[in-house]
Amino acid sequence: MRVNQNERLRRHRDFEFDHRRLRVNQIETMIGEFDRMCADLGQQIEAEEVRAGVSDPKNFAYPMYARAARERRTKLQRSTEALRNELATLRVKEDDHPVAA
């Protein structure tokens, strides 16, 4: 009976470890996508500013699209930072996983 309990505990730890590893892969993918989206938004903002001839967001003539794109980019950057923090936490937990004998 003790062997079954130990085996069950080992399987549970292995499952949690695999789940964390999967989550790490998902987060890394999301961070990469968000970084690409931020770069694309940056190019679109710059193009819109050049088109409008106004690059100061405080100017009343600043394009609404550029304003909205800046806000979206800022939100994506915040999300990316939160994901990087979660990734760091998961990696610390991953280091704590004992090697099965």
Taking only the tens of pLDDT, the chain with its 101 residues reads 566 888 888 888 888 888 888 999 999 999 999 999 999 999 999 999 999 999 999 999 999 999 999 999 999 999 999 999 999 998 887 666 554 43
Rg, the chain, Cα only: 22
Q: Does 20 map to a domain?
A: yes
Domain that holds residue 40: 2-95
pTM: 0.77
Give the residue from 69, 87, 97 showing the smallest Cα distance to 31.
87
- Which residue type occupies 13? R
Number of compact structural domains in the chain: 1
| pLDDT in the model for residue 2 | 67
Q: Does 11 map to a domain?
A: yes
Q: What is the distance between the alpha carbons of residues 101 and 85, in angstroms, rounded to a whole number?
A: 31
Q: Does 77 map to a domain?
A: yes
| pLDDT in the model for residue 82 | 97
Buried b (16+ CB within 10 A) or exposed e, 10-46: eeeeeeebeebeeebeebeeebeebeebbeebeebbe
Q: Does 101 map to a domain?
A: no
| pLDDT in the model for residue 4 | 87
Q: Does 100 map to a domain?
A: no
